[in-house]
Amino acid sequence: MGAKALILTAEGFEDLELHLVWQRLVEERIYVQIATPTGMVVTGLHGYKIDPDLSLREINPNAFDILVLGGGAASERLRLREEALDLARTFLDEGKNVLAIGRGCQTLISAGALNNRKVTCSEAIRDDVKAAGGNYLDAPFATDGNLFTCRSWEDLPALFRDWIHHLALQSNT
């Protein structure tokens, strides 16, 4: 497809969310880079380590077509970084695809990017999404324009079936 994806993560990421998305993107021949706040190695909730390609400050949003925001404690750390919030706003405003999994919506909440958007997320942040103006759906995944969200890693197969179809349609236009 020729697309390029950027996965933002931080210490305490949800291992399955990151690794399953990363693998699925690679299967679709999408070039993937991973960025962390400092560009240093981070460890997931289950002990897996990720050696990132970039730090937040090194990211050129024009070099990517897709932004992935995973969950776990990483989302709490990313939402405190203005660079991450700016990236989320930029991708959404420019019509680029944004995938948020589980608690990944926390970055979008802090970016002020959920107003009137259909969103699903981890049940733990459902009320936060509603308070931020998002239209919460209790569904495996939700699609709203260029924003794709799912509740957890368990819902990734359903999300990807829909999203990969969307990407194929985009590449044919």
Residue 164: which pLDDT band, with cuts at 50, 70 and 90?
Answer: confident
Residue 125: which pLDDT band, with cuts at 50, 70 and 90?
Answer: very high
Q: Above 70 in pLDDT, residue 173?
A: no
Asked, for residue 137, whether it belongs to a domain, the answer is: yes
Query: Which structural domain range is residue 73 located in?
Result: 4-168
Asked, for residue 173, whether it belongs to a domain, the answer is: no
CA angle at 43 for the pair 38 and 48, rounded to the nearest 5° = 140
pTM: 0.95
The domain that holds 82 is classified in CATH as 3.40.50.880
**Count: domains in the chain:** 1
Ranking 43-47, 153-157, 159-163, 169-173 by mean pLDDT, the lowest is 169-173
Asked, for residue 31, whether it belongs to a domain, the answer is: yes
